[in-house]
Amino acid sequence: MPDGKSHEQTEAQETDAERRRRRALFLRELAEARELRDRVQPRRAKAARLRHALRMRTFRW
């Protein structure tokens, strides 16, 4: 049944495309939420940036 396989492949591609769309939307919303949190709590955001910079400096490549 080649028709059944091609149909399954088409469904898989659509599902994959939908998953990528949902993931992109989620990541956009996550970034937006982080920006909002950083604006609302600038001191905590600065401390988080400094901690991240320290982690990156001490990370061994």
Q: What is the pLDDT along the chain (61 residues), one digit of tens a residue?
A: 455 556 666 666 779 989 999 999 999 999 999 999 889 998 998 998 999 999 999 887 6
pTM above 0.85, yes or no: no
Alpha-carbon span 45 to 55, nearest angstrom: 15
pLDDT at 13: 73
Q: Is 48 exposed, middle or buried (0-12, 13-18, 19+ CB in 10 A)?
A: middle
Q: What is the pLDDT of residue 21?
A: 94
- pLDDT of res. 23: 96
